[in-house]
Structure 1
């Protein structure tokens, strides 16, 4: 009987979270006249795609979508690889000063992006990487890897030493043991990190707004934020832009939902 109140509370919470998405979807498929004549909460009379098509064409949304996919995918993979290498040295290698290094990574996770904006801008300018996707990939790879290193160091710190000793007796070196033993066993946790890093990077707005000033390098959140300030954006096109910005991240989450659930469950059991 105790589970029914919890189920009811979760249902109400899910409805509250989905309500804005439903309203945006309703208004995205309305005409401006239909939106003005009725209530924003009312469902559309039909599937009108004019707002979505107009927004897609105006901002060249396909290019922005590709930019976000390239940046988010690259950051997710590179940050996990860097996190694994760092955590392998800190969690299993037990390097000297391990505690202070982990404190440094923890402090790096607490720094606001506003404090990093000017130094990163100056470095990108000096390196000739300003207004390029590579600069954003490098910056967010380091930022996400700081969190990944801190998390994986705790996980790999509990890794069974007997398995590594057996691999060493069989002639496996450090990198072979990492690739053949540590990574496969830690795959559920690494999969969760890849998903989180992808979604977090996809939703980033502040630093990409500073680094990506050209129209052909902007990401989806930057394009949405810049165009929202334009006076010729009506309510239906604004809703269409919000819908197009949400759908890719939601689709990615739903596709890898089973992987995410499996990774969290395995981590909880361990």
Structure 2
């Protein structure tokens, strides 16, 4: 059978396709590609500086500068930070706080969003707005009342003070997000479960929770990373060295008049590695949760 060649001309014609079905690149596409590459380079520069300077000696840094590769691998900065702040203890504090906050915040968010989005409580719009306003409050505005409260109940310089604060803050955002998601939940599925004799509790854990699992997994990952990177509240409510987190421990290395750049770079590298490992482990879960959109 002879091949038929179709030529389309005019303003409404589709763009000519190259071999393999790929569309030809327009000048705007190349400009966008160059912009993305430049943006990626800008983002990667700080990571390059941390990685390069973490393995330099102070003398190597002073002679070659921050952008040059190390002449020889030197682990003195990492070792100094590891010993000075007792890094394994700080990693455990951050892992414990971030994990507990992520789990509790997701659990509270699910319960709140189920009552607001599916239970249809009165004043639903105002309640969701209240949770949104809770996320807009700056942390600086919360320091004094929280400090006074934790001092009164004996939770100051206790990791549970930070866990309580971040659980409430993260749950407010999770409630606002999940309430919108649960509000669009198919009524047919809920009515079918009710006709089968399922209670509200069974509908939540046997119907809503399995379908919403990808979204909840994304929230869990974000809550963990956000809590890990928090600095101001742990610095304020965890003054003792034994309760400090990794970001607070890194700040201890900076003095008023002198800063050891190589040790600070090594500390920053050691602080990034746990979150990077966590992200790589749950990368597929994060991708599935973001791309999951439809209920079948």
TM-score, normalised to structure 1, is 0.95
Is structure 2 residue 198 aligned with structure 1 residue 172?
Answer: yes
Deviations along 1:159-212, whole A, 9 cap, x unmatched?
Answer: 011111111111211111111110110111111101111111111111111100
Alignment counterpart, residue 154 of structure 1, candidates 171, 175, 180? 180
The answer on 1:214 being equivalent to 2:240 is yes
Aligned to 2:280: 254
Shift of 1:234: 1.6
Structure 1, unpaired ranges of 5+: none
More helix by share: 1
**Which of 187, 191, 194 in structure 1 is aligned with 2:213?**
187
3-state SS, counterpart of residue 122 of structure 1: helix
> Residues 26-37 of structure 1: matches in 2 within 5 Å?
26-37=52-63
Single out whichever of 117-126 and 225-234 deviates more from structure 2.
Answer: 225-234
Q: Which of 238, 243, 256 is the matching residue for 2:269?
A: 243
1:64 and 1:204 map into 2 onto residues whose CA distance is 14
Give per-residue Cα distances to partners, 1:193-243, cap 9 Å, x unaligned: 011111111111111111001110000111111222366752111111111
Deviates more, 1:136-145 or 1:159-168: 159-168
Q: Secondary structure at the match of 1:227?
A: coil
Q: Which residue of 1 aligns with 2:128?
A: 102
> Is the partner of 1:228 in helix, strand or coil?
coil
State the shift of 1:156 in Å.
0.2
Show the 5 A alignment for 1:1-270: 1-2=25-26, 3-229=29-255, 233-267=259-293
- Deviations for 1:36-77, whole angstroms, at most 9, x for unmatched residues? 111210011232111101110110011001000000111111
Q: Distance in 1 between matches of 2:235 and 2:94?
A: 13
Please give the alpha-carbon distance, in whole angstroms, between the structure 2 residues aligned to 1:183 and 1:244: 36
- The CA deviation at 1:86 is 0.1
TM-score, structure 2 normalization: 0.87
Give structure 1 regions of 4+ aligned residues with deviation exceeding 6 angstroms: none
**Please, which moves more after superposition, 108-117 or 164-173?**
164-173
Distance 2:202 2:256 in 1: 55
Higher RCO (CA-CA < 8 Å; seq separation 6+):
1
Query: Gapped runs of 5+ residues in structure 2?
Result: 1-24
Equivalent-residue separation in structure 2 for 1:259 and 1:171 (angstroms): 33
Cα distance in 2 for partners of 1:39, 1:231 equals 20
Deviation at 1:250, TM superposition (A): 2.3
Q: Secondary structure at the match of 1:129?
A: coil
Aligned residues: 269
Relative to structure 1, is the Cα distance of residues 232 and 16 closer, same or farther in structure 2, using a 3 angstrom cutoff? closer
Q: 2 CA distance for matches of 1:5 and 1:62?
A: 46
1: CA distance between counterparts of 2:52 and 2:99? Answer: 30
